[in-house]
Copies of this chain bind each other. A is one copy, B any other.
Amino acid sequence: MSGIISYDGTNFSGYQVQPDQRTVQGNLEKVLQRMHKGEFVKVIASGRTDTGVHAVGQVFHFDTPLSIAPDGWKRALNTLLPDDIRLLSIDEVASSFHARYDVSAKEYQYRVLRADEEDVFRRNFTFHYPFALDIDQMRRAANYLIGEHDFTSFCSARTEVVDKTRTIYKLDISESGEELIFSIKGTGFLYNMVRIIVGTLLEIGNGRRSPEDIPDMLLAKDRDVTGKTAPGHGLYLWEVSYEKEE
């Protein structure tokens, strides 16, 4: 079975299971174990999300001997899951389907609150940034990131994967009320990559760096040349695609 869930990341120590921590995967597996009379069911998601990071459309799969209709799975899981995880849909998939290996593209959103004052109702859902921003400069900088690049400078220095080449299809910056919304879609993202891109674009928007610094940052292949990692609570895993063609 493969499902799509949304979760409010505020009260989770991220997606992935960790001992003695409240995690999304931990809750999914606990509920599935209950439905399987105590038998452990491994859940595979499209990828991890960090502490505080939200999901609008995280995808996962699991194998099960139970024959329950999708509606029955949905009702049962939403009854048993905590109310900060909601199953949006679930369907039978080919046994060859793999929620992580088969990803063809991922889209993230990052939300920045441009207001003088923090908003109590959005404090866990946007990054409050009360400083001046030149959006045009940020869009110019964003254009340098679109396409295929080695993103070594734009991922955590702790990233273990060897090939750091990724393709960004889209990097839009739109305004909605007091919020600035980054929509970024690509083949895949390295650890902290979206948050470092957003942090760097904010420093460019604030005039502390120039859009024309981006090509040099990419060439440097050094995490130290880019901006600060924007905090997790502004980030949303928006959509995971599995089409072979974009």
Q: Check: A80 CB closer than 8 A to any chain B CB.
A: no
Interchain CA distance A6-B119 in the complex, whole Å: 8
Q: Check: A145 CB closer than 8 A to any chain B CB.
A: no
Interchain CA distance A42-B125 in the complex, whole Å: 33
Q: Which of B54, B84, B117, B120 contacts A85 (CB 8 A)?
A: B120
- Measured CB to CB, the closest approach of chain B to A85, in angstroms, equals 7
Instruction: Let me know if B84 and A123 touch, CB within 8 A.
Output: yes
Interchain CA distance A54-B123 in the complex, whole Å: 14
Q: Check: A182 CB closer than 8 A to any chain B CB.
A: no
Q: Which of B54, B88, B118, B119 contacts A121 (CB 8 A)?
A: B54
Copies, count: 2
Interchain CA distance A121-B8 in the complex, whole Å: 6
- Measured CB to CB, the closest approach of chain B to A54, in angstroms, equals 7
Q: Check: A7 CB closer than 8 A to any chain B CB.
A: yes
Total residues of chain A contacting the partner, CB 8 A: 16
Interface residues of A in 68-119 (CB under 8 A from B): 83-86, 88, 117-119
Q: Which of B6, B118, B119 contacts A120 (CB 8 A)?
A: B6
Instruction: Let me know if B7 and A86 touch, CB within 8 A.
Output: no
Interface centre among A54, A117, A125, by most B CB within 10 Å?
A: A117
Closest B residue, CB atoms, query A84: B120
Instruction: Let me know if B120 and A8 touch, CB within 8 A.
Output: yes
Interchain CA distance A86-B119 in the complex, whole Å: 8
Instruction: Let me know if A83 and B120 touch, CB within 8 A.
Output: yes
Query: What are the 9 tightest A-B residue pairs by CB atom distance, in nearest-first order?
Result: A8-B120, A86-B120, A6-B120, A84-B120, A83-B123, A8-B121, A7-B120, A86-B118, A121-B125
Which residues of A are interface residues toward B (Cβ below 8 A)? 6-8, 54, 83-86, 88, 117-121, 123, 125
Other 18 A-B pairs with CB < 8 A, given A8-B121, A86-B118: A6-B119, A6-B120, A6-B121, A7-B120, A8-B120, A8-B123, A54-B121, A83-B118, A83-B120, A83-B123, A84-B120, A84-B123, A85-B120, A86-B117, A86-B119, A86-B120, A88-B117, A121-B125
Enumerate 13 A-B pairs (CB-CB under 8 Å) in ascending A order.
A6-B120, A7-B120, A8-B120, A8-B121, A54-B121, A83-B118, A83-B120, A83-B123, A84-B120, A85-B120, A86-B117, A86-B118, A86-B119
